[in-house]
Amino acid sequence: MRIRKAVFPVAGLGTRFLPATKASAKEMLPVVDKPLIQYAVQEAISAGAEELIFVTGRSKNSIMDHFDKAYELEAELAARNKTKLLETVQEILPPGITCIFIRQAEALGLGHAVLCAWPAVGDEDFSVILADDLIDGKLRPCLAQMQRVYQEYGTSVIATQRVPMDEISSYGVVETQPVAPGLGEIRRIVEKPKKEDAPSNLAVVGRYILTPRIFKLLERTNRGAGGEIQLTDAISAMIQEQTVLAYEFEGTRYDCGSKLGYLKANVEYGLKHPELATEFREYLAGMTHHLNATGPDSKK
């Protein structure tokens, strides 16, 4: 019971990062020295994925190029004896991994993007990863944690996280029946509710393991919040037919769809980077000292 296929909906415009995303995909924004989509792909592969399905839009060719073989670059690095850099480029995609690119002709929402992947997924259980949500798992990557739950219970699993009620209207939110610590069966799921209407503070984040039944349900799903076909609405229909579990993952999530979350991710990952950590920590310590010395309460 291993999830072989992973879907990456990457057709969004990334308007919150304009002008940086005018000509390049938001998923190609780097966190230190790797683009967001590479972190997502590595997470999927760590959980056993062999087939990567990218649902793309216009101006997303940079993602395709990133995972393609760069003959000229590799030849140049080899000629200059830059062995370590050559290995870094060649390791972007391990051997035996297949990439499929599907164009989402219209931006009709996450549910529609997942539906576009149906011809490539077929009649298999599969995962969905949103690269905007960069998750640093504690002991193992988030999707690998979910894979263990899937192997034990044999059903759909959705990653969730407790969020402040003031932020709840930005998320899909679930009401659950407890199954085990950090694990519950979803009884109700609501897309971006008002604070007073939210069934809980347990929010859905960008990791899903789904059965192929979701495709038939998405076919019948009308446009919902924001005039888009919402994956949440199809999941709401699915819980009437089969068990869907909400799993509270172990780790830290960075909302890299927001500028502040993206900056936090760069700082945190920079502090762990093997080449940069020591110097970067010293720099931040100096900055902290400078800010304390020049703050509003300091003497001029």
Contact yes or no for 236/186 (Cβ under 8 A): no
3-class DSSP assignment, residue 47:
coil
- Confidence at 269, pLDDT banded by 50, 70, 90: very high
For residue 51, how far is the Cα from the chain centroid? 16
Q: What is the pLDDT of residues 22-61, one digit of tens each?
A: 878 889 999 999 999 999 999 999 999 999 999 998 766 8
The predicted structure's pLDDT at residue 300: 45
Based on C-alpha coordinates, what's the Rg of the chain?
21
Encoded amino acid at 142, one letter: C
Please tell me whether the peptide bond between 212 and the residue prior to it is cis, using omega within 30 degrees of 0.
no
Going by DSSP bridges, is the β-strand pair 98-103/51-56 parallel, antiparallel, or unpaired?
Answer: parallel
Q: What is the pLDDT of residue 298?
A: 52
Closest by CA to 130, choosing from 66, 54, 213, is 54
| Share above pLDDT 70 across residues of the chain, in percent, rounded to a whole number | 96
User: Mind listing the pLDDT tens digit for each residue in 140-169?
Assistant: 999 999 999 999 999 999 999 999 998 898
Q: What percent of the chain has pLDDT over 90?
A: 61
Q: For residue 153, what pLDDT is reported?
A: 94
Q: Is 122 helix (H, G, I), strand (E, B) or coil?
A: coil
Summarised one tens digit per residue, pLDDT across range 72-130 is 898 988 999 999 888 888 888 888 899 999 998 887 889 999 999 999 999 999 999 99
Spatial distance between the Cα atoms of 290 and 286, rounded to a whole number of angstroms? 6
How far is residue 213's CA from residue 240's CA, in Å, rounded to a whole number?
Answer: 12
Query: Residue 244 pLDDT more than 60?
Result: yes
Instruction: Give the pLDDT of residue 225.
Output: 64
- How far apart CA 74 and CA 85 sit, in angstroms, is 9
Model confidence at 227, pLDDT cuts 50, 70, 90, reads confident
By the 8 A CB rule, do 219 and 101 touch?
no
pTM, to two decimals:
0.91
How far apart are the C-alpha atoms of 154 and 71, rounded to whole Å?
Answer: 42
Over residues 271-290, the mean pLDDT reads 89
